[in-house]
Amino acid sequence: MAIDGKTLCGTRETGKKQLVHMVSAWAGNGLVLGQRKVDEKSNEITAIPKLLNALELGGTVVTIDAMGCQREIAGLIVEKKADYVLAVRRIRPAGRASQRFVLLLESDSVAEQIDCGHGRVEQRRCSVIADLSLVEKAAEWASLQGWCV
């Protein structure tokens, strides 16, 4: 199940400056399982827990982009008997540190994908490191099993 936020074009409400921003839960086949509107003066971090609480997550793997890479969100997913894969941005301290781990630790698994679309070629590479010894505050992440870089 993928959790992702999108701003909806052409949805400016009367008297408001911002467009409507929604957080959606997607099944693997593109089916929307649930949505929550992001409050006007907020962001996805506050809407994601509301959406997760509305869903039955048991036995699923929840993926969220870097916006949702929060200990509290990971804890909520685990409480609901699911697993998670959260992206880490390189600009955040954890993201910068994770880039250094690749150089120091052996990857347990590596996957690569190349996509063409929207006028560009995108190459994605994900290395999974199960050794958490260099992950700062690893114990604070609920059921952390590995670090993807």
Q: pLDDT tens digits, residue range 112-124?
A: 999 998 889 999 8
Q: What is the pLDDT of residues 65-99, one digit of tens each?
A: 888 888 999 999 999 999 998 887 654 555 445 55
Exposure string of 34-44, with b = 16+ CB inside 10 Å and e = fewer, is bebebeeeeeb
Residue 34: predicted pLDDT: 94
**Residues 36, 22: contact at Cβ < 8 Å?**
yes
pTM: 0.78
Is the pLDDT confidence value at 26 over 90? Answer: yes
Question: CA 23, CA 29: separation in Å to the nearest integer?
Answer: 17
Is the pLDDT confidence value at 132 over 90? Answer: no
Residue 3: predicted pLDDT: 95
Residue 83: predicted pLDDT: 94
Identify residue 56 by its one-letter amino acid code.
E
Q: Using the 8-state DSSP alphabet, how is residue 44 labeled? A: H
Is the pLDDT confidence value at 125 over 80? Answer: yes
**Residues 57, 32: contact at Cβ < 8 Å?**
no
Question: CA 28, CA 106: separation in Å to the nearest integer?
Answer: 30
Is the pLDDT confidence value at 53 over 90? Answer: yes
